[in-house]
Structure 1
Amino acid sequence: MKRILLTFLVLAFAMISCKKDDKDPVEKGDLNVIVTINGYQLSAGAEIYTNPASKQGVTDEFGSVLLTGLDAGSYEVYASLENVGSGKSVVKIKADELAEIRINIIAGIYVGLAPSINIILPGVPAEFMQGEAITFSAVIEDDKTPHAEIDVKWESNLDGILNSDSPDENGNVSFSTASLSRGLHKITLTATDSEGYTSTATVNVSTLAPGAVTLLQPVKNEGTVILTWTEYQQSDFLKYEVYRSQSNYSGENFELISTLTDKNQTTFTDLTPPLEFQVRYYVRVTNTDDNSRNSNIEVVDSPSGYIFNFQASDMLKHPTQPYIYLVNQGGQKLIKFDYINMQVVTETTLQGNIGYCDIGDNGFGVEIYAPSSDGWIYVYSADDLRQTTSISTGLSTKSVVINGLGHVIASVLPSPWWEQPVRTYMRSTGINIDGNGDFDGDRLRMIPGKNEIISISTSVSPIDMEYFKLTDNGMFEMHQDDPYHGDYPLNPNIFRISPSGEYSITSNSGAVYYANSSMEYKGQLQHGTLKFSDFAFSDDGSVIYAATSNRKSIQIGYYPSLIRDNEILTRGFPVFILRDGNKIISLSKSNENAVNTGIEIISLP
């Protein structure tokens, strides 16, 4: 009986053992994940994790990572790239097989199960002196795990774990330390939620930098910017460098504008700040180990003076007071500007498309005469821009000048065009006095000190020049066409007559002609590859100040030699220039294609 019972127990144990050994093992497979940005650019450094939780990994330089030994089944797979975005896909893992999926990261989109990390401090570049207190802070969020239950670890690749405090109720975590060793630290912040999902974020911190200097509030002074900063306190000083943003307050494009090697010299004046609405400055200090540190950045509004968001089609100067008048064709405005105090005094709305204007006293005080395409010449007081009168020409009017004798001379567009395209009017009554001319729409210029006019055509090719002489009662006494008919350069938009009344100068090549009935061509102001945009003169016309459209400069030349031997560098590319005593008033562009313009006041040598 005992033998039978023993046999039975052995058989039963064998059956149990066989049943246990026959149990199937857990089926596992592998997964290769390829991560891209924008659908094609391989993404290195992306964190990969799954739902349900399994393995985590980080993509290599080829944008891929292999997760091995995953339990067979279906997974959501997430990819997250710090400061870029995230993406996800789904996959089914089969036993003993390698699956592969592609995940495209979408910039600015963050989805997934792992905690999100946003490092706030230190800011970049994180440059400190050894022993200086450094504050670290971040915001950590998780969809499911309460903030207090998220495990946090700040770690240096040189000094090990720095802090492991949990976030507060709002997800904020921070600490300060002054004990980082000297060197270049890679600080990694790791956050792990209650389900085991982990995220990391990094910031590079240097403790090799010099001590800090602070840039104080810059001071604007007559088109310059005065910078002052605190003195460097350590003994390893090498140099200060002053940097300025190259364009309007955007981006990170800075240029070095000065280097100072005297530790005690803590001020610098930027004599040529750019014509921008805003610029930024900072000071970099470098020590004898050739390590550098930047100061704070200071922003300066309109550093070089007043900036307009348009390019004027005409600029006039008050004959005795420090005002200029700008025609804003697109904005339909006439603007009075005080160039001493750099401020707009007043403005008025214009009517129609305004042509070439004139300013002066024609017996009714200083007024501005604005010809319009609507068939009127509008007259404004130079004091307050109040409209004082208007003169009807009945035709689109291109240009107007006054002779100071109560006469208004206008260039109109009649049909047919040869029907007296240049006409004279009484300022007091608006009555048409006389007419003459060969071409409609000429640009008119009065010859200073004379009742005579030089004009350049705008409507015919080749461009032509004309001469007119008036009687004291506004009648045309003489009219003469130039003998060249386009043989030499002419440009109605670049056209001035010297204060002496001896010569005119025109075009971007500086072509000079006698300002009389002969209109004899005298040559060109030396220019090489330079292109002129406008001209001003000394009182007697012997010195020519030539603005350049392809160089930030005003060239200095002489009449009658037409030799150019000096230049004045400007902040911008001059569009219009006018002289006031020993200064040039320039309406300039910050670059050749800019729309914004600014006023520069330039001292003459």
Structure 2
Amino acid sequence: MRKITFLLLTVSFLFACKKNHDITPSKDNKTSYTDKIVLNDPQVTGDSLKISWSMLDTAVFANYTLLRKDYSDGQMNSIKQLYQKNQTFVYDNAVPYSPTVQYQVVGSLASGQTISSNVISYSRPNIQLLNVSPFDIIYSDNDQVLYFFEKSGKISIYSIAQNTIIKSVNTMATIGYCDLGTYNGRKELYVPRNDGWVFIYDATTLEKIDQISTGLSNSCVVFNNNNLYVSTAAWTMRPLKVYSRINGTKISENGDFELTRFKHVPNTDFDLLEITINIGPTDQDYYHFSTSGVFLSHTNDLYHGDYPLDASIFEFFPDGSKYITSSSGAIYNKDMTYQISLPRGNLSFTTFVLNQTEKLIYAGCQTKNIEVYSMTDYNHVRTISTKAYPYKIFDMGNQLLCISSATGSNCIYCTPSINNIVIEKVNK
């Protein structure tokens, strides 16, 4: 009999201990406690969440702090403080666009003691985070794929139809701005490296098929008419070099600054507009080549830093007459003369898409929106809301393909670190 009594007392004690330490949402409809906080399941209201908890009913109450973890590998961050003990709910109107968001409430007492609630989760399995940190992205409209390029050397192909990464390769080098081209009927990917080579991959399989030596670190490559235009580290020794894709021989060379980024000027055959990467103040240059890759002429920058330039945010108008660059939305004529900047208030742009038919400029921002401007007078037309923070946007006809980060960035005069990528399609 003594053994049975002892056993019952032991079970009762263990049950009591579990009750005191395992905090779960209340099922007894009790709305206040003196020594704990019970966080209830979130209530969805449109795009908002109602977060509610039991009152910490004590005379030494100081405040509540609502914490939120935005993504799986993130940290709990304070998003709200409340100083009345009967203030026991908050509407989160800025729920991060993430597969899982977690919440916790911490109560503080006048003594400095804190009491933490249970942690609750709000899950949306339809949202997928991509484990990539790209410095550049290429959109292939014909194949409906995205190429993600990471400074670490990793290249990934994302299928828009399958909503997943279908191929990846680690190039084992620091890579620069890449380009796509077709050679002998085969679609190829050209990858400049910091070890003196430009690697050539099959653009579908990411199988390495060839390589061309420059003998120098390389930051950018552009393909045209079976030639590769490469920005190298030669600097005073004519850093812009042209190589034959056919046999790898050097065709011509020129250039002003080393390790730059350049783009083909639309409707020319063949001109390049270059913006420096590591030179301050940021500079630009214009180069004209023959169709066979022979250098013909070079025009220097007129301003040398007077107006904004950014090699990482840099797009041409489709007709090639102008280009837009930098987080300020600075617009230049083809001859490198500054024209105007988009009206933006305190916004900072991250990416641009220009549609000549619509005569509209779509500008992704560091906030969760895309601003739309007229291409003729540059007036603001409308705002398109996004779920996350746009990093790159691409035109898909009636929609914009928005490659966004689930976490924001306040980086204005630098290239932001991008991670936790999500893919959105937004209607124009």
Which has the larger Rg?
1
Matching residue's letter, 1:313: F
Deviation, structure 1 residue 368: 1.6
Aligned to 1:353: 174
Aligned to 1:468: 287
Matching residue's letter, 2:361: I
Aligned to 2:207: 386
Tell me, in whole angstroms, the C-alpha distance in 2 between the residues paired with 1:559 and 1:578.
17
Deviation digits for residues 384-405 of structure 1 (CA, Å, limit 9, x no counterpart): 11112111111111111112x1
Partner SS state of residue 336, structure 1: strand
Matching residue's letter, 2:346: T
Aligned to 2:114: none
Tell me, in whole angstroms, the C-alpha distance in 2 between the residues paired with 1:363 and 1:519.
35
The runs of 5 or more residues in structure 2 that have no matched partner are 1-12, 50-66, 80-89, 104-118, 411-416
Q: Does 1:479 align with 2:298?
A: yes
Contact 1:215-1:297 at 8 Å conserved across structures: no
Aligned to 1:432: 250
CA gap 1:338/1:186 in 2 versus in 1, 3 angstroms? closer
Tell me, in whole angstroms, the C-alpha distance in 2 between the residues paired with 1:485 and 1:184.
66
Tell me, in whole angstroms, the C-alpha distance in 2 between the residues paired with 1:541 and 1:474.
34
Deviation, structure 1 residue 420: 1.4
Deviation, structure 1 residue 460: 2.8
Contact 1:362-1:407 at 8 Å conserved across structures: no
Aligned match of 1:564 in 376, 380, 392?
380
Deviation, structure 1 residue 377: 0.8
CA gap 1:355/1:184 in 2 versus in 1, 3 angstroms? closer
Aligned to 1:56: none
Deviation, structure 1 residue 371: 0.5
Deviation, structure 1 residue 587: 2.6
Matching residue's letter, 2:250: N
Aligned to 1:143: none
Matching residue's letter, 1:419: M
Tell me, in whole angstroms, the C-alpha distance in 2 between the residues paired with 1:353 and 1:547.
27
Deviation, structure 1 residue 586: 2.6
Tell me, in whole angstroms, the C-alpha distance in 2 between the residues paired with 1:563 and 1:490.
21
Q: Equivalent residues in 2 for 1:434-583 (5 A)? A: 434-450=252-268, 451-515=270-334, 518-540=335-357, 542-549=359-366, 551-583=367-399
Deviation, structure 1 residue 299: 5.0
CA gap 1:442/1:302 in 2 versus in 1, 3 angstroms? farther
Partner SS state of residue 401, structure 1: strand
The runs of 5 or more residues in structure 1 that have no matched partner are 1-113, 130-182, 188-201, 206-211, 217-223, 228-243, 259-271, 282-295
Contact 2:189-2:202 at 8 Å conserved across structures: yes
Aligned to 2:127: 304
Deviation digits for residues 207-260 of structure 1 (CA, Å, limit 9, x no counterpart): xxxxx99999xxxxxxx99x9xxxxxxxxxxxxxxxx966225769896368xx
Deviation digits for residues 489-515 of structure 1 (CA, Å, limit 9, x no counterpart): 111121111222121111110111122
Tell me, in whole angstroms, the C-alpha distance in 2 between the residues paired with 1:470 and 1:186.
78
Deviation digits for residues 563-589 of structure 1 (CA, Å, limit 9, x no counterpart): 223221222222222222222223322
Matching residue's letter, 2:302: P
CA gap 1:541/1:490 in 2 versus in 1, 3 angstroms? farther
Partner SS state of residue 119, structure 1: helix
CA gap 1:301/1:115 in 2 versus in 1, 3 angstroms? closer
CA gap 1:429/1:532 in 2 versus in 1, 3 angstroms? same
CA gap 1:117/1:353 in 2 versus in 1, 3 angstroms? same
Tell me, in whole angstroms, the C-alpha distance in 2 between the residues paired with 1:273 and 1:339.
25
CA gap 1:601/1:467 in 2 versus in 1, 3 angstroms? same
Deviation digits for residues 98-129 of structure 1 (CA, Å, limit 9, x no counterpart): xxxxxxxxxxxxxxxx9995233895342446
Aligned to 2:137: 315
Matching residue's letter, 2:212: I
Matching residue's letter, 1:494: I
Tell me, in whole angstroms, the C-alpha distance in 2 between the residues paired with 1:527 and 1:204.
45
Deviation, structure 1 residue 276: 2.8
Aligned match of 1:120 in 16, 19, 35?
19
CA gap 1:274/1:368 in 2 versus in 1, 3 angstroms? farther
Tell me, in whole angstroms, the C-alpha distance in 2 between the residues paired with 1:505 and 1:555.
14
Contact 1:367-1:380 at 8 Å conserved across structures: yes
Normalising by the residue count of structure 1, what TM-score does the alignment of the two structures yield?
Answer: 0.54
Q: Does 1:599 align with 2:394?
A: no
Aligned to 1:179: none
Normalising by the residue count of structure 2, what TM-score does the alignment of the two structures yield?
Answer: 0.74
Partner SS state of residue 473, structure 1: coil
CA gap 1:339/1:274 in 2 versus in 1, 3 angstroms? farther
- Superposed CA RMSD: 3.6
Matching residue's letter, 1:565: V
Partner SS state of residue 19, structure 2: strand
Matching residue's letter, 1:420: R
Deviation, structure 1 residue 477: 1.9
Aligned match of 1:586 in 390, 402, 415?
402
Contact 1:362-1:402 at 8 Å conserved across structures: no
Contact 1:509-1:524 at 8 Å conserved across structures: yes
CA gap 1:544/1:115 in 2 versus in 1, 3 angstroms? closer
Tell me, in whole angstroms, the C-alpha distance in 1 between the residues paired with 2:337 and 2:257.
20
Q: How many residues align?
A: 363
Deviation, structure 1 residue 553: 1.4
CA gap 1:115/1:527 in 2 versus in 1, 3 angstroms? closer
Contact 1:339-1:599 at 8 Å conserved across structures: no
Tell me, in whole angstroms, the C-alpha distance in 1 between the residues paired with 2:31 and 2:369.
46
Deviation, structure 1 residue 443: 0.8
Tell me, in whole angstroms, the C-alpha distance in 2 between the residues paired with 1:531 and 1:407.
36
Contact 1:246-1:253 at 8 Å conserved across structures: no
Partner SS state of residue 256, structure 2: coil
Contact 1:409-1:422 at 8 Å conserved across structures: yes
Matching residue's letter, 2:389: F
Deviation, structure 1 residue 359: 1.9
Deviation digits for residues 506-528 of structure 1 (CA, Å, limit 9, x no counterpart): 1110111122xx22211111111
Q: Does 1:276 align with 2:111?
A: no
Deviation digits for residues 303-344 of structure 1 (CA, Å, limit 9, x no counterpart): 433332x421111111411100111223x3100111232101
Deviation, structure 1 residue 369: 1.2
Matching residue's letter, 1:571: K
Structure number with higher relative contact order (C-alpha < 8 Å, ≥ 6 residues apart)? 2
Aligned to 1:397: 218
Partner SS state of residue 409, structure 2: coil
Deviation, structure 1 residue 597: 2.5
Deviation, structure 1 residue 541: 7.5
Q: Equivalent residues in 2 for 1:166-315 (5 A)? A: 247-248=70-71, 256=91, 274-279=96-101, 300=123, 303-308=126-131, 310-315=132-137
Aligned to 1:408: 228
Q: Equivalent residues in 2 for 1:90-105 (5 A)? A: none
Tell me, in whole angstroms, the C-alpha distance in 2 between the residues paired with 1:458 and 1:186.
59
Contact 2:147-2:157 at 8 Å conserved across structures: yes
Partner SS state of residue 454, structure 1: strand
Matching residue's letter, 2:244: M
Partner SS state of residue 118, structure 1: helix
Contact 2:403-2:424 at 8 Å conserved across structures: no
Q: Equivalent residues in 2 for 1:52-67 (5 A)? A: none
Q: Does 1:339 align with 2:160?
A: yes
Matching residue's letter, 1:334: I
Tell me, in whole angstroms, the C-alpha distance in 2 between the residues paired with 1:380 and 1:301.
37
Contact 2:223-2:229 at 8 Å conserved across structures: yes
